[in-house]
Structure 1
Amino acid sequence: MNLTSPVKRGRKYDEVLSGARHVFLRDGFDGASVDDIARAAGVSKATVYSYFSDKRLLFLEIARAEIATLTDRAMTDIDRTAPPAQVLTQAGQTIIGFSLSVVGLGIFRLCIAEGERFPELAQAFFEAGPMATQAALCDYFAEAQARGELRIEDPELAADQFVELCRADLQMRLLMRVPPPPSPRDVERVLTGAVEMFLARYATGPV
């Protein structure tokens, strides 16, 4: 499976992507079938395969689009001049939301299941997700440091730390299907703790 070659496009391409997104978000990677995707897209199964030779390749395309949208929204919809606690809370909400989503969980499971046979799959997800998130956070850190709000010597490490603080055990509980699933109160508790701990380490003044 070549994940680096361009995906073939045509007049039904957008319909296929729309149908696949609906099915993957509803059923996850394992539960989605090409038959279901074709029905949701209003096209034949052969049409789906004419664009994507493998369900994993189609899922990757959907995941890339979802990650790109979330990454853009995470930092463009935020007032980056607001106090760091506000900026980081909004960014953390996006990080947690994607980490606990059907697509986010599906990406992780798929990379673990297929990563050894298809290392380019994990690499593609890593570049589209964690690396892009890290870059967006580092851009913000540079701006906040220029204003004297944060002091960070290793911004890449700080970005990774913030992401992991936001996930805490929330994602792992869902991945391992440990009941009960995280509640909104659990999410709020983790997010508040992540922001407070991050600022306790990197803020230049009272938080």
Structure 2
Amino acid sequence: MTLDMKDQPIQRTGRKFAQVLEGARVVFMAKGFEGASVDDIAKEAGVSKATLYSYFPDKRLLFSEVVRTECQRQCEATGAGVDFHENHPPAESLYAGARMIIASYLSEISQQMFRICVAEATRFPELGELFYQSGPMIWRTDMRSYLQQATARGDLAVEDFDMAADQFIELCKADLLLRAVFLNETEFSEDEQHRVAAAAVDLFLAKHGR
């Protein structure tokens, strides 16, 4: 049964609410939903189990609140989205966008949320949508908008804006994303990120450039 946050009220007031939430975040991110115990969370948060239950009577509810809070943080970290420097030539605009997309998906918060949402997708299917909306959907929307404007100006020749936006974003993930996810690499050099961004732009312009 999928948990709906409307099913149970959450007491978001009280001096220890943030303390409980932060303790839960640390434990859930380290151990996942199944591996985290209420005892672990209470100890990390520095509160009693009674205090924890006064805010969150159910571990599922606490986990959902942690993920929702982290997705909101990711959305805020994304800020105004992807800036494609629209007044610049297409190669420069696309490169600027590519670097922002790469930096976003390689960020610590994005990697944490990606792993936990994938790991708990069966138990919490609604969390995948939250993750998508807090990051990937923002990139896609901004990319599509830029492509429409650039095509209208005659700078690019794009017919299917949705497909082109998705393909460009995927090009920006080449090599680095899989290394981050499967090899747990966390540091990528300027040269590595430039290499991926520049190659993404070259391939994209070969198809859609004027």
Same fold per superposition (TM over 0.5) = yes
- Within 5 Å, give how 1:110-149 maps onto structure 2: 110-149=116-155
Offset, 1:78: 5.1
Of 161, 165, 173, 2:171 maps to: 165
- Give 1:83's match in structure 2, choosing from 89, 104, 110: 89
How much is the aligned-residue C-alpha RMSD, in angstroms?
3.6
User: How far apart are 1:193 and its partner, in Å?
Assistant: 0.9
In the alignment, structure 2 segments of 5+ residues that lack a partner are 33-39
Larger CA deviation: 49-58 vs 82-91: 49-58
TM-score (norm 1): 0.74
1:58 aligns with 2:65: yes
Q: Is the contact between residue 8 and residue 51 of structure 1 (CA under 8 Å) also seen in structure 2?
A: no
Note closer, same or farther for the CA distance 1:10–1:140 as it changes in structure 2 (3 Å cut).
Answer: same
Shift of 1:64: 2.4
**Using the alignment, how far apart are the partners of 1:50 and 1:124 within structure 2?**
23
Distance 1:38 1:48 in 2: 13
Q: If you compute each CA radius of gyration, which structure gives the higher value, 1 or 2?
A: 2
Counterpart-to-counterpart distance in 2, 1:30 and 1:88: 36
Deviations 1:143-198 (A, max 9, x none): 11111111111111111111111110111112112669533321111111112211
Shift of 1:46: 5.1
Give distance in 2, aligned partners of 1:104 and 1:28. Answer: 15
Matches of 1:154 and 1:92, distance apart in 2: 19
- CA distance in structure 2 between the partners assigned to 1:199 and 1:36 by the alignment: 54
Q: Which residue of 2 aligns with 1:74?
A: 81
2:24 and 2:45 in contact (8 A); partners too: no
For 2:3, the equivalent position in structure 1 comes to 2
TM superposition shift of 1:53? 5.5
Over residues 85-126 of structure 1, what are the superposed CA-to-partner deviations in whole Å (9 max), with x where a residue is unaligned?
222222222211121122211222122211122221222222
Identity fraction in percent: 27
Aligned pair count reads 197
| CA distance in structure 2 between the partners assigned to 1:134 and 1:51 by the alignment | 35
- Structure 1's unaligned 5+ residue stretches are none
TM-score after normalising by structure 2 = 0.73
Shift of residue 67 of structure 1?
3.5
Provide the C-alpha distance between the structure 2 equivalents of 1:49 and 1:180, rounded to a whole number of angstroms: 33
Match of 1:30? Answer: 30
Please tell me whether residue 16 in structure 1 is matched to residue 22 in structure 2.
Answer: no
CA distance in 2, matches of 1:36, 1:143: 53
Amino acid at match of 1:2: L
Measured at CA, do residues 101 and 178 of structure 1 come closer, stay the same or move farther in structure 2, by a change above 3 Å? closer
Aligned to 1:188: 194
Encode CA deviations 1:125-152: one digit per residue, 9 max, x unaligned.
Answer: 2233323321121111111111111111
- Residue 29 of structure 2 aligns to which amino acid in structure 1? F
